[in-house]
A and B are shown apart, each in its own frame.
Chain A
């Protein structure tokens, strides 16, 4: 009960901090409004999706270093398949990319379970493999995306019965994120698989002795991670209209957001909501730096330092936790 309260306190604290940050943004830039919120949602969307994937794997007691490379593979595959395709064909392309994401993640997990090589080494090797695959599919940024996909994540929500002035304040990017997480993660969390993910993460041996199929559960965790990474890569293509074969700094950002979101590296504890809030916090910090007209390269340095500091802090906490 106490742990439950503590966990929620952390998430609530993050939400409060986010509100403060948004207020600060409003002070820095008095014009900040619906359009600012929309661009924040658009920039946060790929980060948030990949962080959800990473959080699932970390909860199950692993780590996946290949998330950014899998995003790149999904992004270029989507862009190549959708280049010049009709709307119906694009829908199939998206389905194909999502299946590809599941397959990539499942392959990562299967290699970890079968070869018994530690996850960090396997996913490091797979990071290179997926990078290579992305480059083979598309050597330079290119391809295309169906226009109706862009409409899914850009702009405000239109709801019948509410004036646009109200609905503009809810960016479609956030709605997309909420729907995706609700459709994929919530059923898993409520099912037996969700419980088993947490069980394997907190103590694989105890889980094994209570009859949890540890290997398949870990493969499922990595497959879910691959699915969310593919969704993240897909949103990159959706928002920009092109496929990007060189992955951005998504790996470090997702690890930092997972730690900041209160998921313990080592597994078994944490929620999905915390990391999502943490992503939005990190993106808002970046937005504020941009609004204060800080040189984008300096902003990148500051952002990197914040992420490293968060990860260091998380590691210190994890070490303390192990000792006591």
Chain B
């Protein structure tokens, strides 16, 4: 009980971190940028800021999938696969059927993955982690089969995606034209719509939500379908950005997307957090990645770091909420 007096400032700081994650996150971001400036003073410029934003946008969009699913206590590990499939199908189908229908089919595939996830989670009550891992595996197999059938068609990247992915307006990446409305929509949906509030309700106490008349299965089905759709959209944007159709295009973004949401203060157990923090989390991770590249950290080291960050933040979160 003597702990309470000595720990009061720490507990208050902890409460602040949980209630207002945006303030400490902004401070962390600024501190990272300052550290980067010390490491390499020449790097900071408007071009660098614009580039960082450009790289952070697909990550932030994929992290939206994780944020929304985590609000209900779930997770979506198939987003990388869904994004890759959307990108690959768009690039290879465009020479055959034109850009609009190719994009339509690609989004359909991503949505389908989401719907299958939703069915598994909503009706069979499989743990989302196992379910999304499984659909990811199946979808990767389908992609390999598809790849053999289109191996000779060549690839075309639709103009609009390239413009969104690589173009700049007034020094800032065009991707913001897609991202700002997208982020506004998610932020609005999570705060002001019934769907958003139900996500929080299910995440905090699913049994209570069920007893107050929420049809949990509908929310799960809609949520995972939405997640698949968002993943497809970010895959399209990513395709325009990197302009290569590979079979593992967006897979490296899987892990950072989870890390971004966790850093942004969204609880992996559900009921707490929001998309605002996630956007900052994605920016922090992008700046961190630049720093790791400067320090020449190998890929293995990065994965260890991301895993450690997820574990550390979650453990801290549990400590803080236990005490308050």
Contacts and interface: CB of A to CB of B under 8 A. Distances in A.
Q: How large is the interface on A (under 10, 10 to 19, 20 to 34, 35 or more residues)?
A: 35 or more
Interface in B118-172: 120, 124-127, 129-131, 133-135, 137-138, 141-142, 144-145, 148
A28 B74 CA distance: 43
Nearest to B269: A118
Interface stretch (A11-19, A39-47, A121-129, A189-197): A121-129
Interface in A125-163: 125-129, 131-137, 139
26 contacts: A111-B311, A116-B318, A117-B314, A117-B318, A121-B268, A124-B258, A127-B307, A128-B304, A128-B306, A128-B307, A129-B303, A132-B302, A132-B303, A132-B304, A132-B306, A255-B130, A300-B144, A304-B138, A308-B120, A308-B134, A311-B130, A312-B124, A312-B126, A315-B124, A315-B126, A319-B125
Nearest to B306: A128
A301 B142 contact: yes
Contact of A252 (B133, B144, B308): B133
A297 interface: yes
Contact of A136 (B134, B148, B300): B300
Given A132-B304, A297-B141, A319-B125, 4 more contacts: A132-B299, A298-B141, A298-B145, A304-B134
B301 interface: yes
A180 interface: no
User: Top 3 closest A-B pairs, CB basis?
Assistant: A132-B303, A128-B307, A135-B300
B8 interface: no
Contact of A300 (B141, B300, B314): B141
A31 interface: no
Given A311-B126, A312-B124, A129 B131 contact: no
Max chain B C-beta neighbours (<10 A), residue from A121, A137, A252: A121
A126 B120 contact: no
Contacts of B288: none
B315 interface: yes
Contacts of A122: 311
A120 interface: yes
A165 interface: no
Max chain A C-beta neighbours (<10 A), residue from B137, B148, B305: B137
A115 interface: yes
A308 B131 contact: yes
Interface string B281-324: 00000000000000000111111111110110011001000000
B216 interface: no
Given A134-B300, A135-B299, A297-B148, A307 B134 contact: yes
A125 B307 contact: yes
A305 interface: yes
A117 B303 contact: no
B255 interface: yes
A251 interface: yes
Interface of B: 75, 120, 124-127, 129-131, 133-135, 137-138, 141-142, 144-145, 148, 255, 258, 268-269, 298-308, 310-311, 314-315, 318
A117 B311 contact: yes
B127 A129 contact: no
A129 B127 CA distance: 22
Nearest to A120: B129
A115 to B, nearest CB: 4
Contacts of A129: 303-304, 307-308, 311
B145 A295 contact: yes
A152 to B, nearest CB: 30
Given A65-B129, A133-B304, A308-B120, A115 B141 contact: no
A131 B310 contact: no
A69 to B, nearest CB: 9
A137 B300 CA distance: 9
Contacts of B137: 249, 252, 300, 304, 307
Given A139-B298, A300-B141, A128 B131 contact: no
Contacts of A136: 298, 300-301, 304
Contacts of B268: 121
B120 A312 contact: yes
Interface string A159-171: 0000000000000
Contacts of B307: 125-129, 131-132
Nearest to B147: A297
Contacts of A1: none
B285 to A, nearest CB: 13
Interface string A284-302: 0000000000010110110
Interface string A201-225: 0000000000000000000000000
Nearest to A138: B300
A120 B127 contact: yes
Max chain B C-beta neighbours (<10 A), residue from A121, A128, A255: A128
Max chain B C-beta neighbours (<10 A), residue from A115, A124, A295, A300: A124
A128 B303 contact: yes
A135 B141 contact: no
A316 interface: yes
